[in-house]
Chains A and B, each alone.
Chain A
Amino acid sequence: MAGEAVIARAQKNVVPGGTGARRSLYWQYMVEPFLYLSPMILLICSVMLIPLIVGISYSFQSIELLNPFATGWVGFDNYQKLWTDRKFWIAMENTFFWTFWSICFQFFLGLGLAMLLNTQFFGKKLFQALVFLPWAVPTFLSALTWAWLFNPVIGPIPHWLAALGLLSEPYNILGDPDLAIWGPITANIWFGVPFFAITLLAALQSIPGELYEAAEIDGASPWQSFTKITLPFLAPMIAITVMLRTIWIANFADLIFVMTGGGPANSTQILSTYIFTTAFRKLDFGYASTVAVALLIILLAYAVILLWIRKRLVKI
C-alpha cells in the first residue's frame, strides 16, 4: 500500500513523457529522502558505528597507555583474562543485582503511578508535573543528592533507619559493602519511575473504556478487571519498555560512579563502571573493550530471549 502511495505521488509530479516519470520515481525513492537523512547517517556512522567497530577490534589488541610499547594484536588473550578475572565476575553479579532490583521497583512503582494518573482527582496536572520532576534532575545531581541523603552527618536516612531499628546506629550505608548497592538503586528508582509511568500511562489510555463498563455490569471486581483487562492490554508495552529499560539500566554507570565509585571493596562495581575505571584509571583500553564486548553480548542475548518470549506470549 505504501508503495502505491509513492507511485501515486510520483505520478502527480510527472512531466508528460516516460523518462520523466521514471526520474521522478527514482528521485522520490532513492534521492530525496536521503537529502533529509544524510546528516543523521553521517553522524551516526562516524561517531557511533565506526568507533563501535574500532572498539570491538580493540578487544583483540593490547592497548595500554601506561605501557605504550606493548601494543599489538593479541588474539583472544583479553578474553582468556576475563575467565580468571575475579573482579569481572563480581561486577557481572552486581550488574544483575543492580539491574533486577532497579527494574522491579521502577516498574511496580511506575505502574502504580500510571494507574493513579489514569483516574480523576483534584490538582492532577500539578501533581503530574511534580512527580515527574525527578526525571528532569540531571543524573549526576540525583546521584549527589542521594549520596547526601545517605550521609549520616547531613542526611536523614541513616537516622530514620536507626530509629526504625533497621540499623544499629546511624552510620554511612554507602560505606558498608553489604548495603552500599542499595544507595544507587534507591537513586535509580527515584529517577526512573516517571519514565515508566509515562509510557504505561500512554498504554493505559489506549484501553477502550467500554471494556471496563461491560466488566462492571457483569459484576467483575476491580481486581478481576485489572488482571483480565488491564494487564493483557499492557503486556506488549510492558515487554518493550522493560526490555529497553533493562538494557539502559545495565549500561547506566553515572549513579554508581558518582555515589560509590564502585566501592567499597568492589561491592557496587557493575560492568559499566568497571569498563570506565579500566579505561580511564588504568588506561587499559584493550581490556576495557573486552569487558564492553562481554556486556554487549549479554545484552544482545537478553534482548533476543525477551523478543522471542514476547512473540510466543503476546498475540497482539
Chain B
Amino acid sequence: MATAARIAQRHPAMTLGKYAALAFYLGFALFPLYWLAKIAVTPDTLIYSEGTRMVPSAITFENFATVLFETDFLAYFGNSLTVSLGTALFTTLIAAGAGYAFSRFVFAGKRIIIAVMLITQMFPLLMIIAPIYKIVAGLGLLNSLTSLIVVYTAFNIPFATFLMQSFFDGIPKDLEEAAMMDGCTRFQALRTVVFPLTLPGLGATLGFVFTAAWSELLFALMLISKNDAMTFPVGLLTFVSKFSVDWGQMMAAGVLALVPSCLFFIFIQRYLVQGLTSGAVKG
C-alpha cells in the first residue's frame, strides 16, 4: 500500500527492518527445502563427514538414479498420480456443480446444506476413520485405489465447493441470463458462456485438490497395505523405515515427491490466492 511504503521511506530504520524481515521469511521458507536438496546430491561418502556443511564439496545424481530405477518408487508415484488426478477431476466436477447452485439459486434447505458442509470442516476426520475402515473392508475394497479416490473426493468437496462458489460469484449473472433470453437452455448458457470464464477457477480448484490428495497420509496408511497399491506418502514412509540408514536415497525420494505438487503450485498459485482472497473478503 502506498501509504505504508511512504511511511517506510521516511524512516531509514524501518526500511532496513523491512528488508531484514523479508530475508528472514525467505530463509525460513526455503532453508529446509535447500537442505533436502543438498543431502540428495551429496555423495554417500560425504554425508556424515559434511553433516553440517552448507555447500557439499562434491555433487552426484546417483541417489536419484538408484531411487528411480532400483526401488518401487515409480510404482508409488504412478499410484499417487492416479489417485490425485482422479480425485482432482471428480472433486472439481462435483464442486463446480454445487458451487454453481450455491451461487445462482435460492432454494429450499440452502442454509442447512451450508451448515452441514461447515460442520464437516470442523469435526475430526479421525472420528470417521474406524467406521470408514469397516465399511471399506466390508465391501472388500481394501487396497483399492478407487476407494481412496471416493474418500478423498468427499473430504475435498466442501472446501472446493466454497472455492468454486466464490469464483462463480465473480461472474456476472447477466451474461447467462442474456444467453437464456436469446433462447439457450440454462445448461447451454452454462457451457458456452459461463464455462470459459470459470477456467481459472477450475484450474485453481483442480490444483488445490490435487495437492491435498497427493499429500494425504493417514487414510492411505489405513486403507492400503499392499505394496503395489501404495500411494506416495505411504510408500515413502515404509521406504524410510526400510532404508533408514541411506539418507541420500531418502532425500532424493523426497525431492522427487516434491516435484508434482510444486509444479502444480507454481502453475495455480496466482489463481488460488485470487480465489481465496475474493472468498475470504466476503466471508
Is A43 a contact partner of B154 (Cβ separation < 8 A)?
yes
- State whether the Cβ of B75 lies closer than 8 Å to any Cβ in chain A: no
- State whether the Cβ of A5 lies closer than 8 Å to any Cβ in chain B: yes
A116-B25, A127-B26 in contact; A153/B126 too (CB < 8 A)?
no
Is B52 a contact partner of A159 (Cβ separation < 8 A)?
yes
Q: Interface digits, B91-121 against A, CB 8 Å rule (1 contact, 0 not)? A: 0001101101100011110100100110011
Is B154 a contact partner of A209 (Cβ separation < 8 A)?
no
Is B127 a contact partner of A39 (Cβ separation < 8 A)?
no
Closest beta carbon of chain A to B230's beta carbon, Å: 12
For B16, the chain A residues whose CB sits under 8 A away are: none
Main secondary structure of the interface of A (DSSP, over half): helix
A148-B110 Cα distance, complex, nearest whole Å? 48
A49-B32 Cα distance, complex, nearest whole Å? 39
In A184-224, the 8 Å CB interface with B consists of 190, 193-194, 198-199, 201-206, 209, 212-213, 216, 222
From B100, B120, B258, A141 is in contact (CB under 8 Å) with B258
A58-B128 Cα distance, complex, nearest whole Å? 10
A40-B161, A116-B25, A130-B29 in contact; A275/B124 too (CB < 8 A)?
yes
From A2, A213, A276, B106 is in contact (CB under 8 Å) with A2
Main secondary structure of the interface of B (DSSP, over half): helix
- State whether the Cβ of A91 lies closer than 8 Å to any Cβ in chain B: no
A50-B151 Cα distance, complex, nearest whole Å? 13
Is A133 a contact partner of B29 (Cβ separation < 8 A)?
yes
For A135, the chain B residues whose CB sits under 8 A away are: 265
Could you list some 10 contacts between A and B, CB below 8 A?
Answer: A9-B177, A36-B98, A136-B211, A136-B264, A138-B261, A199-B276, A202-B280, A272-B126, A285-B130, A303-B122
Residues of A bordering B, CB below 8 Å:
2-3, 5-6, 9, 12, 28-30, 32-34, 36-37, 39-41, 43-44, 46-52, 54-55, 58, 63, 109, 112-113, 115-116, 118-121, 127-142, 144-146, 148-149, 153-156, 159, 190, 193-194, 198-199, 201-206, 209, 212-213, 216, 222, 237, 240, 244, 247, 250-251, 253-254, 257-258, 272, 275-276, 279-280, 285, 288-289, 292-293, 295-296, 299-300, 303
Residues of B bordering A, CB below 8 Å:
1-5, 7-8, 11, 14, 18-19, 21-22, 25-26, 28-30, 32-33, 35-36, 39, 47-48, 51-52, 94-95, 97-98, 100-101, 105-108, 110, 113, 116-117, 120-135, 150-151, 153-155, 157-158, 161, 177, 180-181, 186, 211, 214-215, 217-218, 221-222, 232-233, 236-237, 240, 247, 250-251, 254, 257-258, 261-262, 264-266, 269, 273, 276-278, 280-281, 283
Closest 4 A-B residue pairs measured CB to CB?
A138-B215, A136-B265, A47-B154, A51-B131
